[in-house]
A and B are shown apart, each in its own frame.
Chain A
Amino acid sequence: MIQIFKIALRNLIRYKRRTLLTSMLITLGVLMVILFSGLAGSFKAMMIGQITDSSLAQMQIHKKGYVSSIDTSPLNLTINQKGYKKIEKILKENSDIEAYAPRIKLSGMLSNFKDTTNIRLNAIEPEKEIKVCPNITERMKFIDSQIPDVLLKPGEIIIPEKLAAGMNIKIRDSVVLVANNRDGSINGLNFTVAGIIDTLMGPQGKEGYMHIKDAQSLLRMEKPEIIEIAVRIKNFEKLDAVYSDLKSNLEKTKNKRGKPVFEIHTWEKLSPFSNIAKMIDFMTISMRFIMIAIVLISILNVMMMSVYERIREIGTMSAIGTAPIKIMGLFLAEGLSLGLISILSGNIIGIFGIYILNINKIRFAFGRMDDILLSPAISFSEIAWVSATVLAVSVIATLQPAYKASKMEPVDALGHI
């Protein structure tokens, strides 16, 4: 076997320029896939992390019909204490759940006593919310740039950056928040601005925060009610499995008409970024197809030329008694070696490229988020996938020329000029 690969390598070296050009082309294909996967993958992971860890959470549970409601903040689809207890029980029984947090989502009018504008708010339990969205404070600015021990106290509000800039509101300023409850009656409360939050892409990226107890007072809820429960799991890779498990458990709670009372959605159903993530996946797959085409065409071309140029040599091999399967093996080893050399160089240059990109941090703007910092990374499994694909395609591309070589009649091959 070693001897076969030795002969294969020497045959590759024999046509130095052709081998070099083909190898460079395949290396470029591998490099493209590694760099693109590294950049696109890290962008996707970072954006998903931003969305799930700082605002949306990984999953949300609502009263059935909430997400598809035509109202932006429907207050009639609340979960009462009894419902919340049921959901809590299901969540506590699931060992994959890391944390959960109740929320009320509402719209209101914010006034600084001079100007008034509308605002969407998340009413939260700060201690629970920070466990579900651990990066939430990264987007927030507080007085003296100090993150407070308690993110938000009753009577405090955190408002979106653009709104603060537009209304010239600063931290510690007093504002009035006016909101309609589900019956249509209006109520208003005074708040102190505790912090300002950066804009983030997505439906919840321009929302303010308030304490859940304040929201219940503002909306004149006689008994505590909530709108949604944000859920975080221990291992993000298991999201789909945990989602299915929770969904089937939640659907067991039915209303009088026998329909499920609750609904659960993953971040993918709640954020428009999931479509961008799908596009990124599609582009990554396209890149892989381009690489496969490059490897297939270039190795097939080189090996076909190699067979045509060495017909007499194949005739000699055959004449002196080399079995057809061994002749085929010689050419397969040649294609495989070419693939292997290209993989090695592609992987080395690709990993080095990722390293260089990490040293020279890439900054860019996306949506309304400025100065996003990318840290490209490539997983071992991705490199293994690329390598295995190139090797497999190299062998597939060599099969036809190798088979042709093995089937040559020695008398015809020896007489070939």
Chain B
Amino acid sequence: MALVQIDNISKIYQTGVVQVKALQDVSLSIDEASFVSFVGPSGSGKTTMLNLIGCLDKPTKGKIFVGREQVDAFDRRQSAMFRGSALGFIFQSFNLFPVLTAYENVEYPLMMIKNESTSKRKEKVLKILDSVGILNQKDKFPDQLSGGQKQRAAVARALITHPKLVLADEPTANLDKKSAINIIRLMRTMRDEFKTTFIFSTHDPEVMKEAEVIYTLEDGRLV
């Protein structure tokens, strides 16, 4: 069953008088619990695609469905609510909050978005930190963690709310080869454990190999 349905979307950016066609007439569908990668060179539209699926941006035309929701029709508040309840994000630069420890970073969505009690939060956070293998680093601040550990914390933060879909934009770009492969394998393990759909973008051939479904983008078109 398709979790993500993309119908003929285009995204055009207007920069002064110049029009940049980031995506052109793209249609695809992504099944639940799949492990999908968007690949392609820089500027091919990978990040735009993830932003549109992740309700961070809106297509110029076309429709996007995530589950039963037509996410391109959401307003600002609905988008924020949907992101908080159904989506998880992993970023290239980890984007952990520097003033929070690894534990607190993972706890953040439960506290600020889900408003869960302290005891429930603690149970969930410790469990997921254990799953991603950084339980012993839980009290460290991001600047005290290695790149791999930071991204593990980011994976844990993305999964803590049990989203239907996790979007990861170049999650391995700032990691060495070994760490990159480890993170992708961790994501796949998490997919198996939580039955969450993972969509990530990469241009690293080694990382691509780990994906189950690969969509290649070139100049904003699916090839």
Query: A residues touching B (Cβ–Cβ < 8 Å)?
Result: 3, 7, 10-11, 13-14, 312-313, 315-324, 326, 410-411, 414
- A203: min CB distance to chain B, Å: 65
CA distance A128 to B33 in the complex (A): 98
Ordered by A's residue number, 14 sampled pairs between the chains whose C-beta atoms are within 8 Å are A10-B99, A11-B99, A14-B98, A316-B97, A319-B89, A320-B88, A321-B80, A321-B83, A321-B85, A322-B84, A323-B113, A324-B76, A411-B56, A414-B95
Chain A: CB-nearest residue to B111: A3
Contact between chains at A312 and B95 (CB < 8 Å)? yes
Q: Chain B residues near A317 (CB, 8 Å)?
A: 97, 112
CA distance A320 to B106 in the complex (A): 11
- B203: min CB distance to chain A, Å: 18
Contact between chains at A7 and B80 (CB < 8 Å)? no
CA distance A319 to B98 in the complex (A): 17
Q: Does B8 sit within 8 A of A, measured CB to CB?
A: no
Given contacts A10-B100, A410-B56, contact A316 B91 (CB under 8 A): yes
Q: Chain B residues near A323 (CB, 8 Å)?
A: 77, 80-81, 84, 113
Contact between chains at A321 and B87 (CB < 8 Å)? yes
Q: Interface centre among A11, A317, A320, A323, by most B CB within 10 Å? A: A320
Q: Chain B residues near A7 (CB, 8 Å)?
A: 97, 99-100
CA distance A380 to B99 in the complex (A): 37
Contact between chains at A319 and B56 (CB < 8 Å)? yes
How would you classify the secondary structure of chain B's contact residues: helix, strand, loop or mixed?
helix
- A327: min CB distance to chain B, Å: 9
Q: Chain B residues near A315 (CB, 8 Å)?
A: 95
- Interfacial residues of chain B within 64-88, with CB under 8 A of chain A in the complex: 76-77, 80-85, 87-88
CA distance A312 to B96 in the complex (A): 10
CA distance A7 to B54 in the complex (A): 26
- B93: min CB distance to chain A, Å: 8
CA distance A320 to B57 in the complex (A): 14
Query: B residues touching A (Cβ–Cβ < 8 Å)?
Result: 51, 54, 56-57, 76-77, 80-85, 87-89, 91, 93, 95, 97-100, 108-109, 111-113, 157-158
Contact between chains at A320 and B98 (CB < 8 Å)? no
Contact between chains at A321 and B97 (CB < 8 Å)? no
Chain A: CB-nearest residue to B158: A320
How would you classify the secondary structure of chain A's contact residues: helix, strand, loop or mixed?
helix
Chain B: CB-nearest residue to A323: B80
- A67: min CB distance to chain B, Å: 68
Q: Interface centre among B87, B97, B99, B111, by most A CB within 10 Å? A: B99
Q: Within the complex, which residue of B76, B81, B83, B91 is in contact with A414, where a contact is CB–CB below 8 Å? A: B91
Chain A: CB-nearest residue to B56: A411
CA distance A321 to B98 in the complex (A): 18
Contact between chains at A321 and B109 (CB < 8 Å)? yes
- A122: min CB distance to chain B, Å: 71
Q: Chain A residues near B99 (CB, 8 Å)?
A: 7, 10-11, 13-14
- B112: min CB distance to chain A, Å: 5
CA distance A13 to B97 in the complex (A): 14
- A406: min CB distance to chain B, Å: 10
Contact between chains at B111 and A324 (CB < 8 Å)? no
Q: Chain A residues near B108 (CB, 8 Å)?
A: 320
Q: Chain B residues near A13 (CB, 8 Å)?
A: 99
Contact between chains at A319 and B81 (CB < 8 Å)? no
Contact between chains at B84 and A321 (CB < 8 Å)? yes
Q: Chain B residues near A320 (CB, 8 Å)?
A: 83-84, 88-89, 108-109, 113, 157-158
Chain A: CB-nearest residue to B157: A320
Chain A: CB-nearest residue to B96: A316
Closest 3 CB pairs of A and B: A321-B84, A10-B99, A321-B83
Q: Chain A residues near B98 (CB, 8 Å)?
A: 14, 313
- A116: min CB distance to chain B, Å: 85
Given contacts A312-B95, A319-B89, A411-B56, contact A324 B80 (CB under 8 A): yes
Q: Chain A residues near B54 (CB, 8 Å)?
A: 319
Given contacts A7-B99, A320-B157, A326-B112, contact A411 B80 (CB under 8 A): no
Q: Interface centre among B77, B89, B111, by most A CB within 10 Å? A: B89
CA distance A317 to B89 in the complex (A): 11
- A402: min CB distance to chain B, Å: 15
Q: Chain B residues near A322 (CB, 8 Å)?
A: 80, 84, 112-113
Contact between chains at B81 and A321 (CB < 8 Å)? yes
Q: Interface centre among B77, B85, B97, by most A CB within 10 Å? A: B97
CA distance A3 to B83 in the complex (A): 21
Chain A: CB-nearest residue to B118: A3
- A309: min CB distance to chain B, Å: 11
CA distance A318 to B81 in the complex (A): 10
Q: Chain A residues near B87 (CB, 8 Å)?
A: 321
CA distance A410 to B87 in the complex (A): 14
**Sample of 20 more A-B contacts, CB < 8 Å, known A7-B100, A317-B97, A319-B56:** A10-B99, A14-B98, A312-B95, A313-B95, A313-B97, A313-B98, A315-B95, A316-B89, A319-B54, A321-B84, A321-B85, A321-B87, A322-B80, A322-B84, A322-B113, A324-B77, A324-B80, A326-B112, A410-B56, A414-B95
